[in-house]
Amino acid sequence: MKASTATTVITNGQLIDGTGRPPIAKGALLIENERIRFAGPEAALPALPNDVCRIDAKGGTIMPGLVEAHFHPTYFNVAALEDLDIKYPVEYVTLLASANAKLALDCGYTSARSGGSLFNIDVWLKKAIENDLVPGPRLAASGREICGAGGLMDWNPDFRKIGMEGLVLIINGAEEARAAVRKLVKDGVEWVKTYPTGDAAVPDVNDHHTLCMTFEEMHAVVATAHNHGMKVTGHCRATAGIKNALRAGYDTLEHGTFMDDEALDILLERNVPVVPALYFELASVERGPEFGMSQRVIDGHKETLEGGAESARRILKAGGRLGMGGDYGFAWNPHGDYAKELTFFVKYVGFTPLEVLTCATKTGAEILGRGHEIGTLEPGKLADVLIVDGDVLSDISLLEDRRRFIAVMQGGVVKAGRVMAPSA
């Protein structure tokens, strides 16, 4: 990704650095080339060169770029699960994924971790973004997901004679689990996304309390992935699936919905981050009827919503780590709505705006594996910055409105917002 060669100073706004520290009321950020040189009170700014590029935050907020920790670039706002796999050819889905990546960056998300994608699209999308061919968040790629045969993602009935090879590698046993991970090694993914449990979306045979992989399969995935320097995550709702994942050595959990005391203890001991992805559940409950969801499915999403919100509260209170993100790309929670997750965690779950922003920046960067480079506004880090016209701590929903963005910056270069490219 092309770095800025300019010196830029941002002033006249409260500075939220993403570490969880309280904001600095009259803050300033100094960027040299692509990195942050100073983040602190405006009164303490170092001497500035004459040709410094100035950005006025207009009394609003200067904060780190947001991190989407569970991003599905190839989901194109589908209303039916099977559309994810067979509705369009891979060529068209690739273009849709590119459009979704641009939209995410426009929405202030300067980084994202893929939660799985059709074929290997996210791996190549990441390369295209890094080579400045298309705009988008800095990506961590997952490629195809892994699920046990007959599990949540193995939905095409045999009589259709359609495999699932574009979206998911279906496995039976530890040997096939290893083989699936080895395929992904060659694809170039960084994260291996698995399906240890089912979901409320499939109430008959794979509901949210059903296991979709065995411990042996999960352990084989982790051992093979870790051997090749890849990390492992999984769709974990059922309590037993959460414990299996933690004991098998998973690096993060998606959802972590039904945590009991024992699961929470192991989670904290291993310091494993969780991405609850909960606004999806609320959107399913509220908008499910208009998309033909059955009452049973909606009831399951309600149970998931309440269980997931309670688990998220317990994890944060106990000092655990949560990432913000979540399955945007369905008809009832389309791409572009990403920041609704943040508002939801303040209004529905009861977190403070500052807690939510720390999850959405610092912890998100840690989940990506790039906590040393991005996620906070501290000297030496890459200048991925979001400047918002308004006080996001008194109204976090301002982040849902792109018209409020003065600038979205990656590596000191303005990529979106009202001020375009003064430092390019």
Give the residues lining the site for Zn ion (CB under 5 A): 115, 327
d(CA 175, CA 102): 39
Of 276 and 353, CB closest to Zn ion: 276
Strand partners, 387: 62, 407
Q: Which is nearer to Zn ion, 23 or 115 (CB)?
A: 115
Closer residue to Zn ion in complex, CB, 194/363:
194
Nearer to Zn ion, 53 or 69 (CB): 69
**Nearer to Zn ion among residue 13 and residue 234 (C-beta):** 234
Looking at the Cβ atoms of 94 and 194, the one nearer to Zn ion is 194
- Residue with Cβ nearer Zn ion (38 or 195): 195
| CB of residue 115 to Zn ion, shortest distance in Å | 4
- DSSP H or E run through 121: helix 121-130
Cα atoms in the 13 Å half-sphere on the side-chain side of 74: 33
Using the minimum distance from each CB to Zn ion, give the nearer residue, 74 or 410.
74
Name the residue nearer to Zn ion (CB basis): 64 or 115.
Answer: 115
* Minimum distance from residue 399 beta carbon to Zn ion (Å): 21
Rounded Cα gap, residues 260 and 243, in angstroms: 9
Q: What is the largest CA-CA distance in the chain?
A: 72
Give the containing element (helix H, strand E) for 70: strand 66-71
CB of 416 to Zn ion, least distance (A): 25
SS3 annotation, 3-38: CCCCEEEEEEEEECCCCCCCCEEEEEEEEECCEEEE
Smallest gap from Cβ 327 to Zn ion, in A, equals: 4
Amino acid symbol at 257? T
DSSP strands (E only) in 82-236? 109-114, 138-140, 145-148, 168-171, 191-194, 231-236
Among 324, 336, 333, CA closest to 293: 333
CA 361 to chain CA centroid, nearest Å: 10
CB nearer Zn ion, residue 280 or residue 345: 280
Query: Contact, 222 vs 244, CB < 8 A?
Result: no
- Give the strand order in the sheet containing 168-171: 168-171, 145-148, 191-194, 231-236, 253-255, 274-275
Q: How far apart, in whole angstroms, are the C-alpha atoms of residue 400 and residue 30?
A: 26
| Integer Cα distance of 180 and 164 in angstroms | 13
* C-beta nearest to Zn ion: residue: 115
With H, G, I as helix, E, B as strand and everything else as coil, classify residue 228: coil
Residue bearing tokens 């149970």: 303
Using the Cα atoms of residue 80, residue 85, residue 86 and residue 91 in order, give the sign of their dihedral: positive
Give CB contacts under 8 A, 24+ apart, made by 342-346: 342/66, 342/396, 342/399, 343/396, 343/397, 343/399, 343/400, 344/278, 344/279, 344/282, 345/278, 345/312, 346/396
Q: Which CB, 222 or 277, lies closer to Zn ion?
A: 277
